[in-house]
Structure 1
Amino acid sequence: MHEVMREPMDASRPAGFAVLRVPFFLEPDYPEDSSFEETNLNRLQRKWGGKAEFEAQKNRHRLKERGHEVGIPRFDNKRTASNTMASHRLVQWVTREYGSELAEKLYQELNYNHFELGQKLNDEEFLARAAASVGVSRDDALHVIRNGVGREYIQAAQKLLRRMGIHSIPTFIVDGKYVLGGAVPARELVELFRSIESSPDEESGGFVFAEALGIPAERLAESLPMPDRVYKAIA
């Protein structure tokens, strides 16, 4: 997105981007209780059937190396894995109330603290601090976190994911009609964005998950601002 926004094909008609982060649960059966403990390393070894199988997956996907390419110096494999319902609800609430620009900043703050620093994503105080760090009222964020605000939207999005046959992440739905699965190289995304940019009169497929997530129409019309920096982490 940054490259396409910084260097538009037609300066008089620059491409705009809005982002909806669709909630997805890698471990849907994890208890929401914050006392639950499992390291991500143990989770992955369990998922892939043992240490050797996990190492084979690592070597195949090269996520650490690809992270280095986009400025992520390290992933904390021993971070504590946890239920992510509260963090999803918070991000979606910020999107509805404040828009995708602020939601993106929050999402990146959560990613940085979780993937690089090992912070749990169901820690109420951490989530509230993260929200406050991007300009959201800490008290409002705690109310959302502690009172189940927005759970119905998360559940509606899960039903839509199942109907669409999406069962893994990352999955990108671009312009409402192009679906790319897996850790897609940045260059492939840029090529797709450029293709769309070169056909400005082609009808857009819109935002597939907007209704399920309760995103107001005025939020969908907002474009992310021209970036002045690269966020600390992406995932």
Structure 2
Amino acid sequence: MSARPLQIDIVSDVVCPWCYIGKHRLEAALALVPEVAVETRWRPFFLNPGVPREGVDRDSYLTAKFGSVEAYKAIAGRVAEAAAAEGLAYRPELVQRQPNTLDCHRLIHWAELDTSGDKSAAMKQRLMELYFRDGGDLTDIEVLVKAAADCGLDADAVRRRLASEEDVALIATQAKDAADKGISGVPTFVFAGKYAVSGAQPAEQLASAIRQVAAELNAEIAAT
């Protein structure tokens, strides 16, 4: 049994398909190491920082980033296969609008701070499902409010907060901090604030990393 919880910071974005897959793999990894006490924190990353707050047309975005919509389809097919292997639905053809994810990260942060209990993982999952599975428009405030309500947050309060600039600077600072630390690809899993694993690694590899870092932390405690 771990003497203290192992802190895992997951730097990711809700519109990153490998982050969608990586979240599922992390959960599978945690199930493999029930003897290790873990605390997870979801940290923001902007996969597409140039997208304006109101979002952009999805086809225009794909053309600008990949050269054409068709060029993206080959990439999407490989991701869809990886997602399916994890039991996840990935339907990028349903997405009509590419969002800026600042407000999504604000929701995840507010869910983490919710006084009735940390709901951040559920919020992260709900937003990813809306986007990747359902083609939901994450630029639509009412879609975001409904997602928050689905996760147990107060809809009216969330609507008011989204209409403000509350925690905009905080999220931007956290995302910049990740970039300043050299994180350029997501998901990135940071264990105990000092060991980083990048990419949606298989559950077994993540579980091995969790065991190793937890053992090191326990050895440090025992030596003090």
Deviation at 1:137, TM superposition (A): 0.7
Q: What is residue 43 of structure 1 aligned with on the other side?
A: 61
Distance in 1, matches of 2:47 and 2:91, equals: 17
TM-score by length of 1: 0.71
Q: 1:2 to 1:168 in 2, by over 3 A?
A: closer
TM-score by length of 2: 0.75
Give the fraction of aligned pairs with identical amino acids, expressed as a percent.
25
The runs of 5 or more residues in structure 1 that have no matched partner are: 205-235
Q: What is residue 129 of structure 1 aligned with on the other side?
A: 146
Equivalent position to 1:154, from 171, 176, 185 = 171
What amino acid is aligned across from residue 91 of structure 2 in structure 1? Answer: F
Q: What is residue 92 of structure 2 aligned with on the other side?
A: 76
Higher strand share: 2
Deviation at 1:57, TM superposition (A): 4.2
2:146–2:155 contact (8 Å) kept in structure 1 = yes
2:145–2:159 contact (8 Å) kept in structure 1 = yes
Distance in 2, matches of 1:69 and 1:55, equals: 18
Equivalent position to 2:121, from 101, 104, 107 = 104
Distance in 2, matches of 1:173 and 1:100, equals: 23
Q: 1:110 to 1:195 in 2, by over 3 A?
A: same
Q: What is residue 52 of structure 2 aligned with on the other side?
A: 31
Higher helix share: 2
Q: What is residue 172 of structure 1 aligned with on the other side?
A: 189
- For residue 20 of structure 1, give the secondary structure of its aligned residue in structure 2: strand
Establish whether residue 20 from structure 1 lines up as the match of residue 36 from structure 2: no
Aligned length in residues: 195
Distance in 2, matches of 1:180 and 1:45, equals: 31
- For residue 193 of structure 2, give the secondary structure of its aligned residue in structure 1: coil
What amino acid is aligned across from residue 28 of structure 1 in structure 2? Answer: P
Root-mean-square deviation (CA), in Å?
2.7
The runs of 5 or more residues in structure 2 that have no matched partner are: 1-25
- For residue 111 of structure 1, give the secondary structure of its aligned residue in structure 2: helix
Establish whether residue 65 from structure 1 lines up as the match of residue 78 from structure 2: no
Q: 1:19 to 1:187 in 2, by over 3 A?
A: same
Q: 1:200 to 1:160 in 2, by over 3 A?
A: closer
Is 148-157 or 76-85 further displaced after alignment? Answer: 76-85
Deviation at 1:197, TM superposition (A): 4.0
Q: What is residue 118 of structure 1 aligned with on the other side?
A: 135
1:15–1:197 contact (8 Å) kept in structure 2 = yes
Distance in 1, matches of 2:30 and 2:179, equals: 33
Q: What is residue 162 of structure 2 aligned with on the other side?
A: 145
